[in-house]
Amino acid sequence: MKKLKRSARLVDMTYFLLQHPHEIVSLTRFSERYQAAKSSISEDLVIIKEMFEDEGYGALLTIPGASGGVKYMPKMNKSEAETLVDQLVIDLNKQERILPGGYLYMMDLLGNPKLMHEVGRLFASVLHNKQIDAVMTVATKGIPLAYAVGQHLGVPVSIVRRDHRITEGSMVSINYASGSSDRIQTMTLARRSLAPGAKVFIVDDFMKAGGTLKGMVDLLEEFDADLVGIGVLVEAAEVNERLVDDYISLTKLTDVNVREKRIDVSEGNVFEKY
The contact set with a copy of itself (CB under 8 A) reads 1, 4, 6-8, 10-12, 14-15, 18-19, 47-48, 50-52, 55, 57, 99-101, 103, 105, 107-108, 111-114, 116-117, 139-140, 143-144, 147, 150-151, 154-159, 161, 163, 167-169, 190, 192-193
| Closest approach of a copy of itself to the CB of residue 270, in Å | 21
C-alpha span between 63 and 50 (Å, rounded) = 17
Q: Return the number of the residue (47 or 63) whose C-beta is nearest a copy of itself.
A: 47
Residues 226, 195 contacting (CB under 8 angstroms)? no
| Closest approach of a copy of itself to the CB of residue 87, in Å | 16
Q: Return the number of the residue (60 or 213) whose C-beta is nearest a copy of itself.
A: 60
Angle subtended by helix axes 6-19 and 38-55, to nearest 10: 60
Q: Return the number of the residue (10 or 267) whose C-beta is nearest a copy of itself.
A: 10
| Closest approach of a copy of itself to the CB of residue 56, in Å | 11
C-alpha span between 202 and 256 (Å, rounded) = 26
Q: How many of the other CB atoms lie within 10 Å of CB of 165?
A: 5
> How far, CA to CA in Å, does 220 sit from each of 103, 118, 215?
29, 27, 9
Beta bridge partners of 232: 204, 249
Q: Return the number of the residue (135 or 217) whose C-beta is nearest a copy of itself.
A: 135
| Closest approach of a copy of itself to the CB of residue 92, in Å | 15
Q: Return the number of the residue (142 or 210) whose C-beta is nearest a copy of itself.
A: 142
Q: Return the number of the residue (65 or 196) whose C-beta is nearest a copy of itself.
A: 196
| Closest approach of a copy of itself to the CB of residue 73, in Å | 14
Q: Return the number of the residue (163 or 221) whose C-beta is nearest a copy of itself.
A: 163
| Closest approach of a copy of itself to the CB of residue 183, in Å | 11
> How far, CA to CA in Å, does 205 sit from each of 88, 93, 105, 140, 274?
13, 16, 12, 9, 20
Residues 236, 253 contacting (CB under 8 angstroms)? yes
CA dihedral (150, 151, 155, 161) positive or negative: positive
Beta bridge partners of 59: 73
Burial of 182 per CB tally in 10 Å (0-12, 13-18, 19+): exposed
| Closest approach of a copy of itself to the CB of residue 157, in Å | 5
> Virtual CA dihedral for 115, 119, 124, 125, nearest 10 degrees?
110
